[in-house]
Amino acid sequence: MDRIRIVGGQRLTGTIPISGAKNAALPLMIASLLTEDTLILDNVPRLADVSLLQRILGNHGVDVMIAGKRPGEIANGGRTLHISAKHIVDTTAPYELVSKMRASFWVVAPLVARMGEATVSMPGGCAIGTRPVDLLIMALEKLGAAIEIEGGYVVARAPNGLRGGDIVFPKVTVGGTHTAMMAAALAHGTTVIENAAREPEIGDVADCLNKMGARISGAGSARIVIEGVPRLSGARHKVLPDRIETGTYAMAVAMTGGEVLLQNARPELLQAALDVLAKAGTAIVPTNEGIRVARNGAGLAPVEVATAPFPGFPTDLQAQLMALMTRAHGTSRITETIFENRFMHVQELVRLGAHIHLDGETATIEGVKHLTGAPVMATDLRASVSLVIAGLAAEGETVVNRVYHLDRGFERVEEKLAACGAAIERLSA
Ligand code: EPU
């Protein structure tokens, strides 16, 4: 397995292009199952999770064509996928595939909506908590699917099609909202989703579904209304920029000092995180091209933050903020409210010399003057990238093992950081 080697202490200066959002690209690719026509997605990031989902969709009979280079295209920019689910040959998503990527469970919704049947493996355990799928199942049942659990698989049946219904989520769930929206798009009648997730990726998927002929209103608010239509058609859609990648690099700059333009980033997608960074002493300036992030001279101030569903501070930036706060002048507190066990980075940050005390869902971080490089690893992608951020400020050499996790969600992390002056390289196995 590849490793990433970092020698800390360099400031970051330059431009980092922000890729398309992983957590929009994945549900958008899954939405292709709703139509016989071709769905064209632009700005799809080059990530291991995208390739894996391509394989999973291929198993259902979906063809994915990746366009070659075009004149004037920037090297390594996002890719264009032409996705055709004209002939669905298999409505089963097997354990071997679903267990590798939880989001692939979401295929259950378009498959049962269009084909009347889906057999999808339950995803199983996960490095950041138990992550059940009960609310996704509840949503499908409200739309008239008959659900059985057999041999570790969810079998969803709706031979006469789904029908609209009222879905009230007792807890905000991104995956639940995506599946409810996709299923309801092809249901007979009207569906109302209450307490829907408001994450920008939900809005992006709704925009794409509407281009495909769906009738969805209210996406981005807590109440989404969907008038079902009998069929959806093809469309072309550009994946929105990745707010988690944006926040991650903003924190890297806050950590090392320097000044970087996060090209194509959109501040409204991560205002809560930008506000926290500003409080910590980072200059954040939205520009026509993206977001300019700088920290020069001043030290880092400690912060108190609790993660929350959008528009709150995202759980997917919790580990990165914790890495940053290891160098703050004073005591920070970070509370994780979304996932029960998303603290795998804590012990690894401690190995680099951080002072962190964990009490239930709250971490107390006493800022230290120095971190020192060490070999580290993590089995969750956001935890892994937090170790990269810490390594950028640690004295000496940090080697991040199991880079496979980083490649799932960050496109060319070492190239993007090295281009801004970081001493970082990939050590190939
Ligand atoms: N939950 C339930 N029952 C369910 C579904 C969810 O109890 O049926 C709980 C979860 O256990 C969790 C909370 O509800 O405590 C929120 O989970 P949610 O369903 O919102 O998460 P998800 O859809 O599984 C997506 C992202 C995650 C991100 C979360 C929260 C994708 C592919 N994944 O997961 O991203 O952390 O929303 O914002 O969009 C990542 O990219 O590293 C990542 C983990």
Q: Is the pLDDT of residue 340 over 90?
A: no
Please state, for a pLDDT cut of 70, what percent of the chain lies above it.
99
**What was the pLDDT predicted at 74?**
66
CA atoms within 13 A on the CB side of 187: 29
Pocket test for ligand 1, best of 131, 138, 149, 168 (most atoms within 8 A of CB): 131
**What was the pLDDT predicted at 125?**
66
Q: From CA 229, how far away is CA 118, in angstroms rounded? A: 20
Q: Is the pLDDT of residue 224 over 80?
A: yes
**What was the pLDDT predicted at 75?**
62
Q: Alpha carbon 6 to chain centroid distance?
A: 24
**CB of 24 closer than 6 A to ligand 1?**
no
SS (H, E, C) the chain: CCEEEEECCCCEEEEEECCECHHHHHHHHHHHHHCCCEEEEEEECCCHHHHHHHHHHHHHCCEEEECCCCCCCCCCCCEEEEEECCCCCCCEECHHHHCCCHHHHHHHHHHHHHHCEEEEECCCCECCECCCCHHHHHHHHHCCCEEEEECCEEEEECCCCCECCEEECCCCCHHHHHHHHHHHHCCECEEEEECCCCCHHHHHHHHHHHHCCCEEECECECEEEEECCCCCCCEEEECCECHHHHHHHHHHHHHHCEEEEEECCCHHHCHHHHHHHHHCCCEEEECCCEEEEEECCCCCCCCEEEECCCCCECHHHHHHHHHHHCCCCCEEEEECCCCCCCCHHHHHHHHCCCEEEEECCEEEEECCCCCECCEEECCCHHHHHHHHHHHHHCECEEEEECCHHHHHHCCCHHHHHHCCCCEEEEECC
Least confident of 74-78, 83-87, 291-295: 74-78
Ligand 1 atom with the shortest distance to the CA of 130: 11
Pocket test for ligand 1, best of 316, 345, 379, 406 (most atoms within 8 A of CB): 316
Mode of pairing for the β-strands spanning 38-44 and 235-238 = parallel
Closest CA to 241 of 14, 53, 16, 24: 24
**CB of 173 closer than 6 A to ligand 1?**
yes
Query: One-letter amino acid identity for 376?
Result: V
The whole-number average pLDDT for the span 383-398 is: 98
Please state, for a pLDDT cut of 90, what percent of the chain lies above it.
92
Q: What are phi and psi of 378, to 5 degrees?
A: -155, 160
**What was the pLDDT predicted at 130?**
75
Ligand 1 center–CA 11 separation, angstroms: 34
At 200, is the pLDDT very low, low, confident or very high (cuts 50, 70, 90)?
very high
Q: Whose CA is nearest to atom 17 of ligand 1?
A: 173
Ligand 1 center–CA 309 separation, angstroms: 10
**CB of 200 closer than 6 A to ligand 1?**
no
Q: From CA 325, how far away is CA 411, in angstroms rounded? A: 25
Q: Is the pLDDT of residue 293 over 70?
A: yes
**CB of 338 closer than 6 A to ligand 1?**
yes
**CB of 412 closer than 6 A to ligand 1?**
no
**CB of 315 closer than 6 A to ligand 1?**
yes
Query: One-letter amino acid identity for 36?
Result: E
* Conformation bin of residue 213: beta by default, left when phi > 0, alpha when psi is -120 to 50: left
The structure's pTM equals 0.97
CA atoms within 13 A on the CB side of 33: 35
Ligand 1 atom with the shortest distance to the CA of 129: 11
Q: Is the pLDDT of residue 126 over 90?
A: no
Ligand 1 center–CA 174 separation, angstroms: 6
**What was the pLDDT predicted at 70?**
77
Q: From CA 18, how far away is CA 262, in angstroms rounded? A: 6
Give the Cα-Cα-Cα angle 210, 214, 218 (nearest 5 degrees): 65
* Conformation bin of residue 138: beta by default, left when phi > 0, alpha when psi is -120 to 50: alpha
Ligand 1 center–CA 138 separation, angstroms: 16
**CB of 44 closer than 6 A to ligand 1?**
no
Q: Is the pLDDT of residue 72 over 80?
A: no
Ligand 1 center–CA 192 separation, angstroms: 21
Q: Whose CA is nearest to atom 21 of ligand 1?
A: 174
**CB of 45 closer than 6 A to ligand 1?**
no
8-49 pLDDT tens trace: 999 999 999 999 999 999 999 999 999 999 999 999 999 999
The whole-number average pLDDT for the span 186-197 is: 98
Q: Whose CA is nearest to atom 37 of ligand 1?
A: 174
